[in-house]
Amino acid sequence: MRFEKIKSHAKVNLSLNVLGKRKSKLHDLESLVAFVDLHDQIFIKRTNNKNHIVKFSGDFSNKVPKINTVSNLLNILDKKKKLKNNKYSILIKKNIPQKSGLGGGSMNAASLINYFEKKNKINLTLKERYDLCSKIGSDVILGIDQKNLIISYKKKTTKIKKNLKIFTLMVKPNFGCSTKSIFKRVRHYSKPQLSKIRSKNVDFNLMSKLKNDLEIISTKKYPRLQKLRDYFLNIDKNSYVRMTGSGSTIVGYFKSKKAALNAKKLLRKNYKNYWCNLSKTI
């Protein structure tokens, strides 16, 4: 049997507001989420092996823990007997950095859930799908369809049907941010802002006026992030700059590829040891 190939796209938070904290100690969030053409490559096929085989390769594979989102997903599906005792060989080429705020691990799990469902390997109700995703990670549910989304107050989700046509220049320092550590430092909450926004009104101008509540926390903890962000801001006045997720990736958003390429050239010259990727929203 040949391997089938799956694209597991990176996500960026065009905005992120922390609205409060639940009794479960998790935070209520609202966010404008987009997917970009940067992706991990997943190769999958059934195997006669007694156990699943999960292997990682690529630039960002060396620090993937033995217990990860994919192994957790397979373990849960096996316990619930959803895979009917079938075992899979899964090879993942990691192109998305870890601890970057780009959701690489979460999107790997989401992409596999989507694959299993589309191929009729598993059958899940809506509730089962949500419960499965939540057991693996809070971001996993976002990647099931890999569609741009408005996630507003009380987890209301609205798909953005149009292509945003934005070029993204993603720059990650040679360190990552711990999501748990960043959220522990949240002391102030925002009021809901996205519930009144209609998907047809989401454009470059609107997005430039939004924010990421975690950015001020991350840049305060890691001054190098603030320095990178400030440098980014001075490159092109027609672009806007924002951290994605809890960091550590800083993203510049551009209307034209030419402007993004110019910024990439300057950033690579001044931040030679930082990961840098030019992508586009899908």
pLDDT 10s digits, 235-263 = 998 999 999 999 999 999 999 999 999 99
- β-bridge partners, 43: 5, 91
Instruction: Give 141-179 pLDDT, tens digit per residue.
Output: 999 989 999 999 888 899 998 889 999 999 999 999 999
Tell me if residue 139 is catalytic.
yes
Dihedral angle, C-alpha 177, 179, 181, 185, nearest 10 °: 110
- Mean pLDDT: which of 43-52, 189-198, 231-240 is highest? 43-52
11 labelled catalytic: yes
CA distances from 83 to 33, 88, 270 (A): 30, 10, 49
The three-point CA angle 274-58-259 to 5° equals 40
The values of phi and psi at residue 257, to 5°, are: -65, -35
Catalytic residue among 40, 139, 213, 236: 139
Band (22; pLDDT cuts 50, 70, 90): confident
Q: 199-218, pLDDT tens digit by residue?
A: 999 999 999 999 999 999 99
pLDDT at 190: 96
Inter-residue contact 16 to 29 (CB < 8 Å): yes
Please report the domains of the chain, with CATH numbers, ordered by start residue: 4-152 (3.30.230.10), 163-280 (3.30.70.890)
